[in-house]
């Protein structure tokens, strides 16, 4: 697995996906006006991650065509209570979860996080919702939008093939957006 953190260095033989990755990061030799962008900064912008959240780590496995992005809250952050919206401190965290995101340079991209739970003085312990996904979804909002848009162009089997998703989750994403009847 390749890690593109500055302290790890950049591998020499990356293949097609790796060349795309280097271009995306702005480190193509001879590129005018380009500058290296830290991978965590890049994915924070691509995923629209904003305080009190931050991207802490990104890893790329070119052979497996997979990008893993880890997100967590800024230490000491307070979140609004899910019920009364009053700021509340973090109580603990859920087990780690992963959400499929839009592909990055033909690599499946996954966002990982342990969602905080807040300790509200009025409403007790409540889970914070991930701002990048709907509750109980295994996909980010942009990926669910891609599923829905693709379902409007072809059947669920075609969507699964094109987006490399499971049938049940694809159907749930599509059918959950349309009223019954």
Q: What residues contact 1, with CB distance under 8 A and at least 6 apart?
A: 59, 60, 61, 64
Preceding peptide of 56 cis, ω within 30°: no
Tokens found for residue 133? 């996904």
> Given pLDDT bands bounded at 50, 70 and 90, which one contains residue 166?
confident
> Given pLDDT bands bounded at 50, 70 and 90, which one contains residue 162?
confident
More confident residue, 26 or 78: 78
Closest C-alpha to 39, from 5, 74, 73: 5
High-pLDDT (> 90) share of the chain, %: 55
Q: Residue 21 pLDDT > 90, yes or no?
A: no
Whether residue 41 contacts residue 25, with contact meaning beta carbons closer than 8 Å, is answered with: no
Q: What residues contact 89, with CB distance under 8 A and at least 6 apart?
A: 78, 118, 119
pTM, two decimal places: 0.72
* DSSP label of 7: G
Whether residue 156 contacts residue 168, with contact meaning beta carbons closer than 8 Å, is answered with: no
The position carrying tokens 């009223």 is 179
Distance CA(172)–CA(138), nearest Å, equals 10
Residue-averaged pLDDT of the chain? 81
The position carrying tokens 């830290």 is 38
Q: What is the pLDDT of residues 42-88, one digit of tens each?
A: 999 999 999 999 999 999 999 999 999 999 999 999 999 999 999 99
> Given pLDDT bands bounded at 50, 70 and 90, which one contains residue 8?
very low
pLDDT at position 174 is 63
Among 2-16, 25-39, 58-72, 93-107, whose mean pLDDT is lowest? 2-16
List the alpha helices (DSSP H) in the chain.
15-25, 39-46, 141-151, 156-163, 167-175
Tokens found for residue 31? 């590129």
């Amino acid at each position: 697995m390749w890690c593109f953190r500055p302290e790890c260095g950049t591998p020499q033989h990356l293949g097609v996906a790796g060349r795309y990755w280097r271009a995306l990061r702005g480190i193509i030799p001879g590129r005018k006006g380009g500058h290296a962008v830290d991978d965590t900064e890049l994915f924070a912008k691509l995923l629209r991650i904003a305080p009190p959240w931050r991207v802490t780590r990104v890893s790329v496995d070119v052979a497996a065509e997979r990008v893993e992005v880890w997100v967590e809250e800024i230490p000491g952050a307070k979140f609004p209570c899910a019920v009364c919206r009053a700021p509340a401190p973090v109580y603990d965290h859920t087990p780690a979860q992963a959400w499929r995101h839009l592909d990055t340079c033909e690599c499946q991209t996954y966002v990982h996080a342990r969602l905080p739970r807040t300790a509200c003085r009025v409403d007790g312990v409540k889970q914070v919702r991930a701002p990048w996904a709907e509750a109980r979804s295994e996909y980010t909002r942009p990926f669910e939008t891609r599923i829905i848009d693709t379902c409007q162009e072809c059947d669920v089997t075609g969507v699964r093939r094109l987006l490399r998703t499971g049938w049940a989750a694809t159907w749930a994403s599509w059918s959950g957006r349309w009223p019954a009847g």
